[in-house]
Structure 1
């Protein structure tokens, strides 16, 4: 039972904006949690770090899950050729522009003592071709291309057997949570074989983990009954999330176990508890969003339109402004609040007054062209 092509899922509009804003807040707090980020305050907050590490477990996985949903919905409306060209156009071009113009200021601020000026440093910074926080877009390009054959399979008779098995799981109230077993196997296996913390696409410990969420997003939205079960079982998923949270922090605050367990075992336990939180949180968030977030107000439509360039610019703005804020002689709380508002105003200003009005910038940063321009182009052809 496919979701109808014209059926809008307003909860996705809400979640996309909420989660990107959560990413923004996360990066605002990064200079103050002692985690060796691009810029760091001289003082740090252990409590802040303890809170942030929890939300890290499900913020980006949920975004990839939503991206998988979006891929299925878009493929139901347009041809495969149009889908591929649209994704390459709206993802690859902003990635290239971001690497050339948005990322270099971050790298300059991070190593500012090594250069006389930004313009003197710019050529060498560009040649680094660093994606920095734009690795998320790089992943989406690859995942979107992989979505084409997978979506073809989801529309075959062979896929009905897969869906029948999954639907059987939903008869058990916590059945959908059993997907976590596959996630745990993927995360631990690939992390042991590819022990790297970077987010490069070739690092399979990272890319395989996020690909799991992207694919499950495609699977869940491809079947109406399965999609409904996520909402119906939201309370059970919330209970599982609370239990997972206790297990997560129980291990997080546990005493040193190095005398009893090897490093690989300790890391494997950590990845295990992280998977418990990430999957249960995703199911809980999606279930309650389906139940409560049933309308898309006009301001949310505008936010959804501009959320992509907002994501592209936000970290550079935070790093540049934060470089000056962390040198203020005041408390961490005031610095965080100041950095949040200054960065939010600046990033929103860039999106509203530079990106949104002009088709050149809309094209470069992945937005659709204005309708008037589309009509003029179609009339000329």
Structure 2
């Protein structure tokens, strides 16, 4: 019998390209958030006196697909994981991995971001200790616009991805019988059976339709409740990843089309930029929506195709990166803001300062992760890592314990 997208033989032993793409995607998130400190006219928690208008375009080109790639890769992981677990096991395992770090970080990691923003806005008195006591008590209202999320008394800032991902995972988990039904398998097989131009164009249609219907009524908020347009985009690409996860044919086709998708992506974004620069105001309408969504999918398809071609091998750095990416994600924005507050009084200029800020952020993430978080067993779950097995555990493979892979990226046994 030939392999189908739902048979174990259809999946490789391990998808090294997905491991690598996850690490690289979150590295882009770090660089993007450093850029948010320096890009002119875009609101963020702190803004540099060296803000530059020219940064808007590279930031915009990156912003059109960066989080969509992250959610698609997360969907791929779920596609593997869902083969071995039932609905409640999925929700339980994902809840521990996603919501425990979120709660910890909102109480311990994120508050400094709110404090620095409030002080910069002149609406919070200096003194982090007093701020933290009031912040954690959640019993006193903050001045309006003191910091992002002040109206709620507490904020998750850059960690909004975690509750969004848990919500999408729970939706899939609670409806697993539908996804596994004949109708659900038919939809999965039709998507994974797309070839040629159909694979590069047809997945754009749901994204375009939701954008045309929702974008102007529901601007991005990252508050989970009313973010309907972003939900429609992120959940759609999340489902694409869930469908694609264990299929080999669609990945081979993306690899085959990688040069075509790259050329088309460059042409589409160039057209978008020309039209945007030539417009008197922010252009809108079906044409611009079409270009944005077409570029989004072509860029993601290009990255997936090139990643499958060049990254699907056991790189020496993958073991370290796979375990480090989650703590780095949790830590990075607080370290960026702390670094910005440290460097701003030195007036180092628009070249040296951002270079040092990137270096300090990366060094801080590395030092805290490798020097503390990965070594202290009770800290590991608070940053999304599995507890390290002791040397007495017969399953331990090294003094540091085995690599705790992102669940689902290793193919299941034939008994599954």
Structure 2 length-normalised TM:
0.83
- Conserved 8 A contact 2:212-2:289: yes
Cα distance between partner residues in 2 of 1:336 and 1:330: 9
Does 2:361 match 1:324? no
Tell me by how many angstroms 1:213 deviates.
1.0
**Comparing 238-247 with 63-72, which one deviates more in the overlay?**
238-247
Contact 1:14–1:293 (Cα < 8 Å) also in 2: yes
SS of the equivalent of 1:67 reads helix
Deviates more, 1:158-167 or 1:24-33: 158-167
Match of 1:27 among 24, 29, 33: 33
Tell whether 2:238 aligns with 1:214.
yes
Counterpart secondary structure, 2:203: helix
Contact preservation (8 Å) 1:72, 1:151:
no
The answer to whether residue 294 in structure 2 is matched with residue 276 in structure 1 is yes
| 1:276 shift after superposition | 1.8
Asked if structure 1 preserves the Cα contact closer than 8 Å seen for 2:30 and 2:333, the reply is: yes
Any residues of structure 2 matched to 1:128-143 within 5 Å, and which?
128-143=153-168
Q: 1:254 to 1:201 in 2, by over 3 A?
A: same
* Partner in structure 2 of residue 225 of structure 1: 249
Query: How many residues are paired up?
Result: 368
Corresponding position: 1:55 with 2:62: yes
1:336 aligns with 2:343: no
- In structure 1, what is the equivalent of residue 172 of structure 2? 147
Please give the alpha-carbon distance, in whole angstroms, between the structure 1 residues aligned to 2:268 and 2:164: 28
Q: Which structure is higher in helix share? A: 1
**Among residues 228, 232, 250, which one is paired with 1:204 in the alignment?**
228
Write the distance in 2 (CA, Å) between the matches of 1:324 and 1:129: 24
Q: Would you say 1:117 and 2:159 are equivalent positions? A: no
Runs of 5+ consecutive residues of structure 1 not aligned to the other structure? 259-264, 377-381
Change (3 A) 1:83 1:269: same
Check the 8 A contact 1:173/1:233 in 2, yes or no: no
Which shifted more, 133-142 or 242-251? 242-251
Instruction: State the Cα distance separating 1:6 from its structure 2 match.
Output: 6.2
- What is the CA deviation profile of residues 91-139 of structure 1, one whole-angstrom value per residue up to 9, with x for unaligned ones? 1110101111111100101112421300111133333221111000010
Mean alpha-carbon deviation: is it higher for 303-312 or for 33-42?
A: 33-42
Residue 264 (structure 2) aligns with: 240
CA shift digits 1:68-92 (9 cap, x unpaired):
0100101123343322211011111
Contact 2:87 2:174 (C-alpha < 8 Å) held by counterparts: no
Within 2, Cα distance between the matches of 1:277 and 1:149?
32
Q: Quote the Cα distance in structure 2 between the aligned partners of 1:155 and 1:356.
A: 37
The root-mean-square deviation of aligned C-alpha atoms, in Å, is: 2.2
What is the Cα deviation at residue 374 of structure 1?
A: 9.2
Q: Is the 8 A contact 1:31 1:40 kept in 2?
A: yes
Displacement of 1:56 = 0.7
| Distance across 2 between alignment mates of 1:182 and 1:362 | 39
1:151 Cα deviation (Å)? 4.6
Aligned to 2:89: 82
Three-state SS of the structure 2 residue aligned to 1:53 is helix
Q: Which of 9, 21, 24 is the aligned partner of 2:15? A: 9
| Structure 2: gaps of 5 or more residues | 139-152, 395-416
Mapped to 1, the partners of 2:37 and 2:189 lie a distance apart of 48
Q: 1:73 to 1:277 in 2, by over 3 A?
A: same
> CA, structure 1 residues 6+243, in 2 after alignment: closer, same or farther (shift >3 Å)?
closer
Q: Tell me what 2:382 maps to.
A: 364
Per the normalisation by structure 1, the TM-score is 0.90
Quote the residue 1:379 is aligned against.
Answer: none
Contact 1:154–1:222, Cα closer than 8 Å, also in 2:
no
Alpha-carbon spacing, 1:77–1:6, altered in 2? closer, same or farther (3 Å): farther
Residues 94, 49 of structure 1: alpha-carbon distance in 2 compared, 3 angstrom cutoff: same
Aligned with 1:313: secondary structure? helix
What is the DSSP-based 3-state SS (H/G/I as helix, E as strand, rest coil) of the residue aligned with 2:385?
coil
* Structure 2 CA distance for aligned equivalents of residues 268 and 108 of structure 1: 41
1:109–1:267 distance in 2 versus 1, CA, 3 Å: farther
The residue number in structure 1 matching 2:405 is: none
